[in-house]
Amino acid sequence: MGRYIPETVSEQEAMLKDIGYTSIDDLYSMVPEQVKLKDLNIPEGKSELEVLEQMKEIAEQNIVFRSIFRGAGVYAHHIPSIVKTITSKEEFVTAYTPYQAEISQGVLQSIFEYQTQICELTGLDVSNASVYDGAVAAAEAIFMTLERNKDEILVSDTIDPETLAVIKTYCESRSVKVTLLKNRNHLTDLEEVKKNLNERTAGLYIESPNYFGLVEDVEAFAGLMHENKAKIIEGCDPVSLAIYKAPGEMGVDVAVGEGQQLGLPMGFGGPYLGFMSCKKELMRKLPGRIVGETTDHEGRRAYVLTLQAREQHIRREKASSNICSNEALCAMTASVYLAAMGPEGMKKLALSCYSNAHYLAEKLNEAGFRRIDEGEFFDEFLTVSPVDPKLLEEKLAEKKILSGLPLDEGILWCATELNTKDKIDELIAAIREVM
Amino acid sequence: MKLLFERSVKGRGSDILPEITTGSYRPEAKYLRQSKMHLPEISEVDLGRHYTQLMKQTHGVNDGFYPLGSCTMKYNPRVDEETASLPNFTQIHPLQPVNTVQGCMKVLHKAGRLLCEITGMDAMTFEPAAGAHGEYTGLLLIRKYHQDRNDTERVNIIVPDSAHGTNPASAAMAGFKVVNIPSNDKGGVDLEALRAAVGKDTAGLMLTNPNTLGLFDPNILEITRIVHEAGGLCYYDGANLNAIMGRVRPGDMGFDCVHLNLHKTFATPHGGGGPGSGPVGCKEFLKKFLPCHMVEERDEFYYFADPEKSMGQVRSFYGNFLVVVKALTYILTLGKKGIPEASGKAVLNANYMMHQLKDHYHVAYDQICMHEFVLSLDDLKKETGVSAMDIAKGSLDFGIHPPTMYFPLIVHEALMFEPAETESRETIDEAVKIYLDLFEKAHSDPEYLHNAPHHCPIGRPDEVKAAREPVLKYEFND
Q: Do A206 and A240 sit in the same domain of this protein? A: yes
Per-residue pLDDT band for A2 (boundaries 50, 70, 90) equals low
Residue-wise pLDDT for A244-303, tens only, equals 999 999 999 999 999 999 999 999 999 999 999 999 999 999 999 999 999 999 999 999
> End of a domain among A310, A336, A362?
A336
Closest C-alpha to B361, from B380, B382, B385, B347: B380
CATH code where residue A113 lies: 3.40.640.10
Cβ A12–B37 below 8 Å, yes or no? Answer: no
Q: Provide the pLDDT confidence category of residue A1 given band limits of 50, 70 and 90.
A: very low
pLDDT band at A312 (very low <50, low <70, confident <90, very high): confident
Is B71 part of any domain? no
A381 shares a domain with A327: no
- Mind listing the pLDDT tens digit for each residue in B114-164? 999 999 999 999 999 999 999 999 999 999 999 999 999 999 999 999 898
Statement to judge: residues A74 and A86 lie in one domain: no
CA B351 to chain centre: 22
**pLDDT reported for residue A320:** 79
B130 and B43 share a domain? no
Last residue of a domain, one of A336, A362, A378: A336
Distance from the Cα of B89 to chain A's closest Cα (Å) equals: 6
User: What integer pLDDT is reported at residue B213 of this predicted model?
Assistant: 95
Instruction: Indicate whether B118 and B266 sit together in one domain.
Output: yes
Residues β-bridged to residue B4: none
Residue B344 lies in a domain: yes
Up-side HSE of residue B25: CA atoms within 13 Å toward CB? 21
Residues B90, B58: one domain? Answer: no
A266 and A409 in one domain? no
pLDDT in tens, B281-300: 999 999 999 999 999 999 99
Task: Please judge whether A339 and B4 are an interchain contact, meaning their C-beta atoms are less than 8 angstroms apart.
Answer: yes
Q: B156, B303 in Cβ contact below 8 A? A: no
Asked whether residue B73 is domain-assigned, the answer is no
Indicate which of B7, B19, B22, B118 best probes the interface with A, i.e. most A CBs within 10 Å of its own CB: B22
Percent of all residues in chain A with a pLDDT value above 90, rounded to a whole number: 94
Give the structural domain span for B440. 337-464
To the nearest whole Å, the CA of B102 is away from the closest chain A CA by 6
pTM: 0.98
In a domain, A53, yes or no: no
Among residues A315, A336, A357, which one ends one of the domains? A336
Is residue B241 included in any domain, yes or no? yes
- Chain A residues within an 8 Å CB radius of B248: 28, 31, 35-37
Task: Answer whether A330 sits within 8 Å of B38, measured CB to CB.
Answer: no
Q: A328, B22: Cβ pair inside 8 Å?
A: no
Quick one: A181 and A296 in the same domain? yes
Same domain assignment for residues A128 and A169: yes
- Residue B170: closest CA among B193, B139, B143, B142: B139
Give percent of chain B above pLDDT 90: 98
Give pLDDT tens digits for B351-389.
Answer: 999 999 999 999 999 999 999 999 999 999 999 999 999
**B87 and B207 inside one domain:** yes
The residue-averaged pLDDT of B170-183 equals 95
Same domain? A286 vs A359: no
Query: For chain B, what is the domain count?
Result: 3
- pLDDT per residue over B178-225, tens digit each? 999 999 999 999 999 999 999 999 999 999 999 999 999 999 999 999
**pLDDT tens readout for residues B395-418:** 999 999 999 999 998 999 999 999
The answer to whether residue B473 sits within a structural domain is no
Q: Select from B60, B218, B457 the Cβ nearest to the Cβ of A93.
A: B60
| Secondary structure (3-state) at B32 | strand
Domain extent, residue A261, equals 81-336
B138 with B264, same domain: the answer is yes
Q: Which helix (H) or strand (E) holds B363?
A: strand B362-363
- Say yes or no: B211 and B297 in one domain: yes
The reply to whether A391 and A296 lie within a common domain is no
| Number of domains, chain A | 2
Is B99's pLDDT higher than 60?
yes
Residue B9 forms contact with A (CB below 8 Å) = no
Q: Any chain A CB within 8 A of the CB of B77?
A: yes
**CATH number of the domain within which B412 lies:** 3.90.1150.10
Rounded to the nearest 10°, the torsion over CA A141, A145, A149, A152 is -50
Tell me: pLDDT of A313 over 90: no
Residue B458 and residue B427 share a domain:
yes
A338 band by pLDDT with thresholds 50, 70 and 90: very high
Cα angle for residues A1, B346, B273 (degrees, 5° grid)? 100
- Residue A413 sits in a domain whose CATH number is 3.90.1150.10
Same domain? A331 vs A388: no
- Chain A interface disruption, residue of B7, B15, B17, most A CBs within 10 A: B17
CB contact under 8 A, B25 and A354: yes
Question: Which residues in chain B are contacts of A420 at CB distance < 8 A?
Answer: 18, 21-22
Return the pLDDT at A76.
98
Average pLDDT, chain A: 96
Return d(Cα B317, Cα A281) in angstroms, integer: 33
Q: Find the mean pLDDT for residues B72-94.
A: 97
Q: What single DSSP character describes residue B185?
A: T
Give the pLDDT of residue A186. 97
B83 and B56 in a single domain? The answer is: no
Q: Quote the minimal CA–CA distance from A196 to chain B in Å.
A: 25
Residues of chain B with Cβ-Cβ distance to A44 below 8 Å are 335-337
Q: Are B232 and B361 in the same domain?
A: no
What is the Cα A180 distance to its own chain's centre?
A: 22
| Secondary structure in 3-state letters for chain A | CCCCCCCCHHHHHHHHHHCCCCCHHHHHCCCCHHHECCCCCCCECCCHHHHHHHHHHHHCCECCCCEECCCCCCCCCCCCHHHHHHHCCHHHHHCCCCCCHHHCHHHHHHHHHHHHHHHHHHCCCEECCCECCHHHHHHHHHHHHCECCECEEEEECCCCHHHHHHHHHHHHHCCCEEEEECCECCECCHHHHHHHCCCCEEEEEEEECCCCCECCCHHHHHHHHHHCCCEEEEEECCCHHHCECCHHHHCCCEEEEECCCCCCCCHHHCCCCEEEEECHHHHHHCCCCCEEEEEECCCCEEEEECCHHHCHHHHHHHCCCCCCCCCHHHHHHHHHHHHHHHHHHHHHHHHHHHHHHHHHHHHHHHCCCCECCCCCECCEEEECCCCCHHHHHHHHHHCCEECCEEECCEEEEECCCCCCHHHHHHHHHHHHHHC
Are B323 and B415 contained in the same domain? no
Domain of B255, CATH number, reads 3.40.640.10
With an 8 Å Cβ cutoff, is B271 touching chain A?
yes
B116 with B231, same domain?
A: yes
Q: A177 and A326 share a domain?
A: yes
Please give the Cα distance from B208 to B212 (Å, whole number).
Answer: 7
> Does residue B152 sit at the A interface (CB-CB below 8 Å)?
no
Q: What is the DSSP letter of B101?
A: B
Contacts of B172-177 spanning 24+ positions with Cβ under 8 A: B172/A317, B172/A318, B172/A319, B172/A322, B173/A170, B173/A173, B173/A174, B173/A321, B173/A322, B173/B136, B173/B139, B174/A173, B174/B136, B174/B139, B174/B140, B174/B142, B174/B143, B175/A173, B175/A174, B175/A175, B175/B143, B176/B139, B176/B143, B176/B203
Q: What pLDDT shows up at residue A324?
A: 85
With pLDDT > 70 as the criterion, what percentage of chain B qualifies?
100
CB contacts, 8 Å: A325 with chain B: 130-132, 263, 270, 273-276
- Mark whether B114 and B219 lie in a shared domain: yes
The minimal CB distance from A121 to the residues B37, B51, B248 is found for: B37
Which positions in chain B touch A36 (Cβ < 8 Å)? 247-248
B471 in a structural domain: no
Tell if the CB–CB gap between B130 and A324 is shorter than 8 Å. yes
Please, which pLDDT band fits residue B168 given cuts at 50, 70 and 90? very high
- State the average pLDDT over residues A185-214: 97
Decide if A59 is inside a domain.
no
Are A321 and A194 in a shared domain?
yes
Does some domain include residue B72? no
Q: Please report whether residue B474 resides in a domain.
A: no
HSE (CB half, 13 Å, CA atoms) of A314?
10
- Test B319 with A269 for CB contact under 8 angstroms: yes
Same domain, A189 and A91: yes
Is the ipTM above a cut-off of 0.95?
yes
**Is residue A35 situated within a structural domain?**
no
User: Does the CB of B87 have a partner CB in chain A at under 8 Å?
Assistant: yes
Residue in A with minimal Cα distance to B12 = A342
Q: Has residue A285 been placed in a domain?
A: yes
Dist CA A70 CA A380 (whole Å): 9
Query: Among A397, A434, A429, which residue's Cα sits nearest to residue A69?
Result: A397
